[in-house]
Amino acid sequence: MTFGQQPQPNPNYEPQGGNNLNTGYGAGQQYQQQYQYANANQQPQYQQPYAQPQYAYAGQGGAGAAIDAQVAYSYEEARRVSVTKAYGEMTIGLIVTAVVAVLGQASGLYYAFLMSTGMLGLIGLCVVQVALAVILGARIMKMSVGAARAMFYVYAALMGFTLSSIFMVYDLGSIGIALGITAAFFFALTMFSLTTKFDMLKFGPILMVGLIVLIISQFVLMLIPGVSGMTQIMCAFGLILFAGMTMYDAQSTRALFAQYEAQGPEMIRKISILCALNLYLDFVNMFLYILQLFGNRD
């Protein structure tokens, strides 16, 4: 999930394998109708009004069923490749974030930025990141693929620069352990979401309400000093929330590709970037909450 208006998966959407094609379901149905009209006076006893269209070619040696199976396999394979691309984009974004974070700390650039701009500069940096996420989520359908990808990587770089601060708070061992736990947790949640029949898409509104509650609660806790116990509770709640959002976004990625696949490869590449942003945010937030819960501070 990201900020801004963006295409949402339709949980009731069922892609049509023969859409805009002269093979598969549509062609089978058309051939069946023509076959029935041509032979209406010759062999009426062989008409089967309740026969499924995909078996219309059964009299021709099962060719229609074989074509339908091939088309269905092609669409399923295309969706699998598209989902893989989305996770690939997410991985590249995470690598950009990690590299920028390490360089920002090692070069002293992040410290110099804080010294020269203070808290105002940090707030401005966060505002820019939120603005980029909103623009990318709301305008990606009207952008070119190159512009959307560039904006995503710029966002990842800015996130990395902001995350340079964790090296000033936590030791390297804690950061490495938190990163490993997050990667394993994220992978397990993704595999479960993509293989289970349990539908997480119906929990979208509940997860969004939970996210709003989390943001407001964290803002209030920032204004109230000396409530470390509540902070730990909020971190635990945030970890559970983004675990659920990871599962939601995994299934949402697959649903969006199925919904937009008929609009061509250009649209699929845009959806890949949008889904990569959603998954990227899930991973980063889980990492931060795990680090806050289990990390050792310097």
Alpha helices in the chain (DSSP H): 24-38, 63-106, 109-139, 145-162, 172-195, 204-223, 228-260, 265-294
Instruction: Report the distance separating Cα 127 and Cα 288, nearest Å.
Output: 19
Cβ–Cβ < 8 Å for 73, 256: no
Locate the domains of the chain by residue range: 65-294
Tens digits of per-residue pLDDT, 180-209? Answer: 999 999 999 999 998 988 888 999 999 999
Cβ neighbour number for residue 160 with a 10 Å cutoff: 23
Q: Is the pLDDT of residue 26 over 90?
A: no
Percent share of the chain, pLDDT over 70? 71
pTM, rounded to two decimals: 0.73
Tens digits of per-residue pLDDT, 126-155? Answer: 899 989 988 988 888 888 999 999 999 999
pLDDT band of residue 79 (cuts 50, 70, 90) is low
Instruction: Report the distance separating Cα 186 and Cα 203, nearest Å.
Output: 18
Average pLDDT, whole number, for the chain? 78
Cβ neighbour number for residue 237 with a 10 Å cutoff: 16
Of 19 and 76, more confident: 76
Q: Is the pLDDT of residue 13 over 50?
A: yes
